[in-house]
Amino acid sequence: MESIITLYKIGHGPSSSHTMGPANAAKYFKNVYHNADQFKVTLYGSLALTGRGHLTDKTILETLAPIKTDIVWNVKDVNIKHPNTMDFEAWLSGKQLGKIRFYSIGGGAIQIEGEATSNTANSLYKEKNGQEVLQACQKNKWKLIDYIKHYEGENFWHHLNHVWEVMQAAIKTGLAAEGELPGKLKLKRKAKVFFETPQKILSRKAIDKKIVLMMAYAFAVSETNASGGVVVTAPTCGSCGILPAILMFAKDTLNIKDVQIIEALAIAGLIGNIVRTNGSIAGAEAGCQAEVGVACSMAAAAYGYLIDLTNQKIFVAASAALEHHLGLTCDPVLGYVQAPCIERNALATIRALDAAQLVSLSPFKEIFNFDDIIETMLVTGRALNAGYRETSVGGLASIYNKKKATKAFNKKFGIKVS
C-alpha cells in the first residue's frame, strides 16, 4: 500500500476523478510536451458522459492554457479498459508530437497506460489488506495508530494537520454561503439553514440538535465542493463531506483535542487505503458504494478510534458501514455532484456514527471480515449496469431526464397536467 498522504489530496471540486484527475493528467502532459502549439484531448466513458457537469473540460482547458486545446466527447467507443479514459495529443505546426492515454482511477490519482499502478510502484506498507494489518498489530502488540506510525514519517503528520485545517475551512465556507449552487439544477444551499435552525423548533419536532449540526457540517463541505471550492478527497470529492462532519461532531461532543482528530484521520486513511488497494474508490468503476460507502467506512473507523474501540472492533465498524452501502449506484443528475450526492453525504455521516456506536454496544462475532466486504463491493460494482456507474443515464438521473423531457413536450403542445 502507498502512503496515506496520497489518499488525502487537496484541491478544487467538484470531482476527484473528473476534475482533479484530468487536471493532473493535463499538468503532466503539458510538462512533457511544453513546446506544442496545439493539444487535443479525447474523453471517453464516464468522463465523456458527465464531464460537463463535473467541469472536466473547464479544468483541462485552464490547465493547458494558453495553448489552443480541442476537447472531443467520445460517447460511442465503449471498448475501453477503464471508464475514466482520456487521450492527450500534442501537435506542432500540424504534426503530431506524441500521445498519452491516461486513466483517472479515483481520488484524483491517474495512471498512464502501460505503466505500473502507483500502488505497485510506490509501496510503503508491507501489509496489503485488513487481515494482514490486524495480524501485524497482534504480533507487535500495536494499536492501529502505532502501526501507522511505524511506517509513516514526520511529513505525514504535517500533511494531516494541513488536511484538518482545509476540512475545517471547507465547513466554515459552506456554513456561511447562501443562495443557489452553480449549475442548471438551481438547488438551494442547505448547510447554513440547518446550522442556524433554532433550538425551539428542533425541540418541538423532537430532533437532536447535535445530529442536525453534524448534517450541517456534511452539507457545508459537500456544497463547498459542488461550488468548485477547495476540499480534501476523503476518499473522493463526491464523498468529501462525511469524514470532516463526523470529526467536527466528535470535537463538539467528545471534548477531544486536535491531536486526537489527527490520529483519527490517520485511522480513517488506513481504512481508505486498504479499500483503494484491494477494491476501488471510483464511482465510475464501482458505483457510489465506492465513494460514499467507503467514506462512511472511513468515518466509522475514525469515530470508533475516538471512542476507544479495539483494533478488531474498529474494523468491524468499518465493515458495517461499508456493508450497508453495497450496491449503491452512482447516478448524479445532469452530471453534477449535487443530487443525490450531497444528501447522501449527510445521511452517510449518521450511518457512520450508528455503525461505530452499534459495535461499541455489542459483542460482535464476525461472519465476514473487512476484506470480504471489499471484495464483495468490487464484484458488485463491476456487475452494475454501466448506467449506474457515474454516467448520468441511469437511476435518478434518468428519471430526472424523463421528467424534463415530458415537461418540455407538454409545454410545446400546450398540454396541461392537473
Q: Look at residue 46 in the predicted model and tell me its pLDDT.
A: 95
Residue 14's CB is within 10 A of a number of other CB atoms, namely 31
Tell me what the mean pLDDT of segment 6-17 comes to.
Answer: 95
CB burial of residue 365 (10 Å; 0-12, 13-18, 19+): exposed
Please, what is the Cα angle at 109 between 377 and 273, to 5 degrees?
A: 50
Mean pLDDT of the chain: 94
**Which is it for strands 85-92 and 109-112: parallel, antiparallel or unpaired?**
unpaired
Q: Look at residue 156 in the predicted model and tell me its pLDDT.
A: 97
Q: Look at residue 273 in the predicted model and tell me its pLDDT.
A: 98
CA–CA separation, 330 and 385 (whole Å) = 11
134 neighbors 184 (Cβ within 8 angstroms): no
**Does residue 264 register a pLDDT over 90?**
yes
Q: What percent of the chain has pLDDT over 70?
A: 95
134 neighbors 311 (Cβ within 8 angstroms): yes
Tell me what the mean pLDDT of segment 231-256 comes to.
Answer: 97
**What band does 366 get if pLDDT is binned at 50, 70 and 90?**
confident
pLDDT by residue (tens digit) across 67-79? Answer: 999 999 999 988 8
340 neighbors 283 (Cβ within 8 angstroms): no
pLDDT by residue (tens digit) across 123-182? Answer: 899 999 999 999 999 999 999 999 999 999 999 999 999 999 999 999 999 999 999 999
Query: In terms of pLDDT, which residue wins out, 409 or 167?
Result: 167
Q: Look at residue 119 in the predicted model and tell me its pLDDT.
A: 46
Q: What's at 79, amino acid-wise?
A: N
**What band does 416 get if pLDDT is binned at 50, 70 and 90?**
low
Phi-psi region of 406 (alpha: psi -120 to 50; beta: other; left: phi over 0): alpha
pLDDT by residue (tens digit) across 199-219? Answer: 989 999 899 999 999 999 999
**Does residue 122 register a pLDDT over 90?**
no
CA–CA separation, 38 and 210 (whole Å) = 54
CA–CA separation, 203 and 302 (whole Å) = 29
Q: Look at residue 238 in the predicted model and tell me its pLDDT.
A: 97
Bridge partners of 43?
A: 73, 86
Residue 27's CB is within 10 A of a number of other CB atoms, namely 13
CA–CA separation, 210 and 90 (whole Å) = 53
**Does residue 271 register a pLDDT over 90?**
yes
**Does residue 404 register a pLDDT over 90?**
no
The sign of the dihedral angle between the CA atoms of 317, 326, 82, 342 is: negative
Tell me what the mean pLDDT of segment 385-402 comes to.
Answer: 92
pLDDT by residue (tens digit) across 312-344? Answer: 999 999 999 999 999 999 999 999 999 999 999
Q: What's at 59, amino acid-wise?
A: T
